[in-house]
Structure 1
């Protein structure tokens, strides 16, 4: 049975249009970071139908429409899909390259239609363009920093199949009687079957990709402080308990820092809450610069932070805390050209015979931090220097327990 190419083209155009319109209706339910690649994908799907519709009208409309414009639209559609995958993978768009490919397609189709008429030449030109764009899309998926998910493998597989088909299409010279793109042949049947399946399978995979990214982002937001990007209170407690268990299991030291920015209310009152937010972010930036990569930073209150220091005894943790305090004091933080001093009181606590769980470690480290507050601020106090029973916590200071995290 002959594969009727014009009918296949019309079917592909209809399917692409329906899927594109359906996907366009779902965009508002996704965050802004995903809406941009999804818009590009939708535009690609909505441009494709016009290309296939013009292909199917070969012989009924002028050649400049059914050949030049149709092929240009096809290359533009794949350019949008390729850019969608790059932006989804957090890569910079290749707008310049895509414009060059579209320009080459238009110029090449004009020359191969009117100057040096060649159907095979046109097939080679567009196959190379589509194969190159599909390869760029595959590269965007497999060269991203995150682990590759199954939906991403699915989309990449569909693009790789397209690349393979384009290579075969270039390698096989059409039979002498093959005069028009709409003529039926086994290879044409494969090409347009793939063209009909691509919008369905690849778009399903792309939607699953976006759904998994959304779930990952939501899970991440549940574990971090949205302003500073460090862990929140609840996640700090989970990570601290794991670190304590590891410390006990392997007999390793473990220390904790509790840092409270001095006179933070004064920054908010004098310069506004936006300046306070900038100060918090600056403190976190300095903490990242001083602490080790294995250390864990969390924001547990308005201007209060915790750092979990694996494999650090109290002396090493106190030295690190002092370097951190000095770096904060020396920082050149300013708001609208006005210098704003950053000072902090830091308490240091370590696991030991009398401190064997998170609740006790937090309580003793918090007492040390508040002792630093009471004795002048902008200093480091270790929990071991406090006399037994000494109350370093002010009367209105709430008790910190692991259960509250």
Structure 2
């Protein structure tokens, strides 16, 4: 027939070579993680190994038997090391290379000192089963949480090849005559299963690499967004984040008819602290105040640094009078527990303005403007107090 075993063997050698080239092209245009290079090299090793096997009888046995089989086994070690590196583990594994050395010694013995092709096939099947199992285990055990399903799904390919290797092991062990590498019909199925496995493996590499890259890009996007929405000094939300959340709550409150109150606090004596102790101490004031504020509000409330020495609060489902109680509690507490580092004690004094949303409020800015006016009135009335607009 046209597709005889030797022809199929050359095809088996050609496909990994092409897939390796595709991986190189992919690498040139995409970010590749550690381990990807070993996966590329493993494909070329498969290609060289299968190519040398098909030249049996045409070139010296040293190449068509010994080097071919060594290269194929080493390809599996490269896959294992690629998995380890991809997941941030140590690539070199003494067990793998110990098995390789034992396999190489026995293979040379059955190739030159006690020529036995069946023993060589059994050895190759055994070492391949072990290495494929170790690859599958590397993919299945403790992958990153977000890659867990994908990684464990891909591990099934390696475990499936373990079954193929075990079948080949026993099928050869019970043969009564030497295996004919170019005439045994079972070699067609072994070659086809290998081609399918290598092809699926290669696209699995792409999938793993691309998925990890997309996840890290998403993490980077979230990190950038978090930086853009966070005050760098105090670590609490900034003005931008406050307006994003505030607009959402404003619309929700208007739609559902629930109260929504806003409080603006100003540190009265921050400028004096800056002048007396320096801006470093002033920064400590701001950080201390922000930490205290966070302990006094509910998880679904929001406090943000509005700029300079101003902090703005949003209290969903809280009336103006309730907001006043919260504000007075925070003002009293920060006054009762002044900032101290052992060398000095400096009390923090707050003034505040409160406003809740009203039926005729067209946008959030109007509510905050009223709260700001109330804050100004508190300042003009002697400071250290909170007023409702």
Whether these two folds match at TM > 0.5 is: yes
Q: Alignment partner of 1:300: what SS? A: strand
1:124 maps to 2:124: no
Contact 1:346 1:372 in 2 (8 A): yes
Q: Tell me, yes or no, if the aligned pair for 1:15 and 1:196 is still in contact at 8 Å.
A: no
Task: Name the counterpart of 1:402.
Answer: none
Contact 2:16/2:47, CA 8 A, preserved across alignment: yes
Q: SS at the partner of 1:99?
A: coil
Q: Which of 117, 139, 145 pairs up with 1:140?
A: 145
Matches within 5 A, 1:211-230: 211-230=217-236
Q: In the alignment, is residue 289 of structure 1 matched against residue 295 of structure 2?
A: yes
Q: Are the counterparts in 2 of residues 15 and 199 from structure 1 also a CA contact under 8 Å? A: no
1:122-271 aligned at under 5 Å gives the runs: 122-135=127-140, 140-141=145-146, 157=150, 159-172=151-164, 173-174=167-168, 175-176=171-172, 177=179, 185-268=191-274
TM-score by length of 1: 0.67
* 1:312 to partner: Cα distance: 1.0
Counterpart among 312, 316, 320 of residue 318 in structure 2: 312
Unaligned ranges ≥5, structure 1 = 25-40, 84-97, 144-155, 385-405
Contact 1:135 1:163 in 2 (8 A): yes
Structure 2 residue corresponding to 1:8, chosen from 8, 11, 15: 15
Distance in 1 between residues matched to 2:342 and 2:141, nearest whole Å: 44
Q: Structure 1 residue 162: deviation in Å?
A: 2.1
8 Å Cα contact 1:13/1:53 also seen in 2: yes
C-alpha distance 15-272 of structure 1, shift in aligned 2 (>3 A)? farther
Q: Give how far 1:307 is off.
A: 0.9
Structure 1, 325-334 or 164-173: larger mean CA deviation: 325-334
Question: 1:1-80 maps to which residues of 2 (within 5 A)?
Answer: 1=3, 2=8, 4-24=11-31, 41-58=32-49, 60=63, 66=71, 70-80=75-85
After the TM superposition, which residues 74-89 of structure 1 pair with which residues of structure 2 at under 5 Å, given as runs?
74-83=79-88
Equivalent pairs, count: 339
Which of structures 1 and 2 has the bigger CA Rg? 2
- Alpha-carbon shift at residue 44 of structure 1 (Å): 1.7
| Alpha-carbon distance in 2 for matches of 1:126, 1:336 | 63
Structure 2: stretches of 5+ with no match in the other structure: 50-61, 108-121, 173-178, 182-186
